[in-house]
Each structure stands twice: as structure tokens, then as C-alpha cells.
Amino acid sequence: MDSLGDTIRKLREGRELPLRIVASYLDIDQAILSKIERQQRKATREQVVKLAAYFKVKEDDLLIAWLSDKLVNEVEDEEVALKALQVAEEKVKYITKDRKK
């Protein structure tokens, strides 16, 4: 399963774009984009949305990769991580259901 950084790198390389071109579009230094691709730095939500538009891919797909990376980074060292994520899933379902009323 690819991380957001892996996905961005594949999109960029698949279009034969250098780091500097995509970084320029995001208005960031190419070193920062390189670190995002290597999971050494986290992209912002705004950057993820801009990347989806730039590469003409579904925004939700990149946002899901971004958010799942954030969740994994937060709980990866916890023994009960999977159970906690399952409880969180139920809470999200409950909150979402409440908002639709």
C-alpha cells in the first residue's frame, strides 16, 4: 500500500516532471517536495488538494492517502492501534449519522 509520498512521486515521475516544476506549482522548495515524497516531511491538506488538481486525479484519493498516513504515524507504536482505529471508525459513523439529521 503506497503512502502519499509514494503516490506523489509515481504521479510526478509518470509524467516525467522534475521536482522543481511540481514544487514551483506548490510554491515550495524542491527539497521540501523531495522530503514529502520520502515521508520525511508531511504535506499540508492544502498542498494535497493542489496536487490532486495539478495531476488531475481524484482529490479524495489523495486526501485518503494523506489522512491514512497521519493516522498510521500517530498510532503505529501502540499495541492496541487496530482496536483504537476500529473504535474511532464507529465514532466517525456515529458523528456522521448525527450530522445528517
Instruction: Lowest mean pLDDT of 19-23, 46-50, 68-72, 92-96, name the range.
Output: 92-96
pLDDT attached to residue 43 = 97
The residue assigned the cell 491538506 is 45
- Average of per-residue pLDDT values in the chain: 93
Q: What does the alpha-carbon distance between residue 99 and residue 72 come to, in Å, rounded to a whole number? A: 26
Going from the N-terminus, what domains does the chain have, and what CATH number goes with each?
Answer: 4-76 (1.10.260.40)
pTM of the model: 0.83
pLDDT tens-digit readout, 16-47: 999 999 999 999 999 999 999 999 999 999 99
* Residue 99 pLDDT grade (very low, low, confident, very high; cuts 50, 70, 90): confident
The amino acid occupying position 60 is D
